Amino acid sequence: MSAKLAIVVPCYNEEEVFPTTVARLLALLDGLQARGAVTPDSFLLFVDDGSRDRTWALIEEHTARDRRVHGLKLSRNCGHQNALLAGLALADADALVSIDADLQDDPEVITAMVAKFHEGCEVVYGVRNSRASDSAFKRVTARGYYRTMQLFGVEIVYDHADFRLLSKRVVAHLQEYAEVNMFLRAVIPLLGFRSDIVYYERAPRFAGISKYPLRKMLAFAMTGVTSFSVAPLRFITLLGFLTFMFSFVMVFWVLYGKLMHGNVIPGWASSVIPIYFLGGAQLLSIGVLGEYVAKIYLESKRRPRYIVEKQV
C-alpha cells in the first residue's frame, strides 16, 4: 500500500549544494513511486532558515519547474531545530522524513525507512555505521557528547542526528511539546510508538561548508543538557552540601587544635571558617532554588519558535 511521503530539508546558505540535492531527492521519489511505495503526490519541502545567499531564489525556481518541490521561508535564522519543526508542522503527509541539505546522510536509506514504515514502524532512526570519515577530534568530541548526555539521564539514540522518518500521528503528538528550546534528538524517544533503526555510511560533504562549527556544536550540546536534565543543578546542590559539611569539619579541627595543642594561627579560624561556611550555605541555597527555577524556566517561555514569511 502506497503512502504519501514528505521529505523535509532545512536549508541555511545551501546555494552550492541545492541543485544536486534537489536532483537526487527527486530521483529517489521517482524510484519509490515506481515501486509503489509512495503516492504520486509525495513531495520535497525545503525550509529556508534565513539564508543570506541565493538558496530561497533557487527554491522558488524549482517549485516553478516541478510540482513536487515546495518551499517555506522563515522570517529570520531561527536555528536548525526550529526550521525542521516548521517543515514538519506544515507538511501534510502520511510519513515525513527529515534530512540535511548536504546529503551527508545517505538519501538511499530513505527507501529502507519507508519499508519499515509499511511494516508498522512510526519512528525510524537513521544511525551511522561508523565515524571513520570524521577527524580524530570530531570522533572524540562526538563520543564524549553522547556519553555525557546519557550520564545526565537524557534518553538519546547513539550516533543519530536528525535523519529520521516520523509518521503523521507522531508529528501530531510532537506539536504538543511546547518548549521553545526544542531538542528533537531527545524529544522523539520520549514520544514512544513503535520504532526501528536503519544504518548507513555517512558521506563527506560534496560542496559548501558545514553550518555547525565548534561554537554551535557546544551551544547545541548545552541546549540538550539544560532542556532535558537538571543534573547540573543537582551537582551544584551536592557541591554546596559537601562544602557546607567540610566547613563543619574545619570547625572541629580548629577547636581540636586550639584546645589540645594551642597552635592555631591567631585570626585564621575567624576568617577562614565563615568564608567556607557562608560559601557552602550559599551554594546549597542556590542549588535548591535552582531546582525550582529550572522547572519554571522550562515551562514559562512561550515565544514563537519561528515565523513563516513565505510559502510556495
pLDDT tens figures, 35-93: 999 999 999 999 999 999 999 999 999 999 999 999 999 999 988 889 999 999 999 99
Same domain as 256, residue 221: no
Residue 57 backbone zone (phi > 0: left; psi -120 to 50: alpha; other: beta):
alpha
180, 206, 229: which is the final residue of a domain? 229
Mean pLDDT in residue range 275-295? 72
Same domain as 219, residue 264: no
Examine residue 312 and state whether it is found in any structural domain, yes or no. Answer: no
Q: Residue 4's pLDDT is what? A: 96
Same domain as 162, residue 61: yes
Q: What share of the chain is helix, strand, coil (3-state, %, to 5)?
A: 50, 15, 35
DSSP E strands, the chain: 5-11, 43-48, 69-74, 95-98, 123-128, 160-167, 195-200, 308-311
Cβ atoms of 244 and 286 within 8 Å: the answer is: no
pTM: 0.72
For the chain, percent of residues with pLDDT exceeding 90: 44
Same domain as 134, residue 91: yes
Distance of CA 274 to the CA centre of its chain: 44
Mean pLDDT in residue range 260-285? 67
Domain that holds residue 217: 5-229
Q: Residue 129's pLDDT is what? A: 84
Q: Around Cβ 303, how many Cβ atoms within 10 Å? A: 6
Same domain as 235, residue 209: no
pLDDT at 208 over 70: no
Examine residue 307 and state whether it is found in any structural domain, yes or no. Answer: no
Same domain as 58, residue 159: yes
173, 195, 229: which is the final residue of a domain? 229
Same domain as 246, residue 112: no
DSSP state of 305: S
Mean pLDDT in residue range 280-303? 72
Q: Residue 210's pLDDT is what? A: 55
Same domain as 159, residue 84: yes
Number of domains forming the structure of the chain: 2
Same domain as 260, residue 215: no
Mean pLDDT in residue range 259-282? 66
Q: Residue 243's pLDDT is what? A: 73
User: Hey, what amino acid is at 282?
Assistant: Q
Torsion 227-230-232-236 (CA) sign:
positive
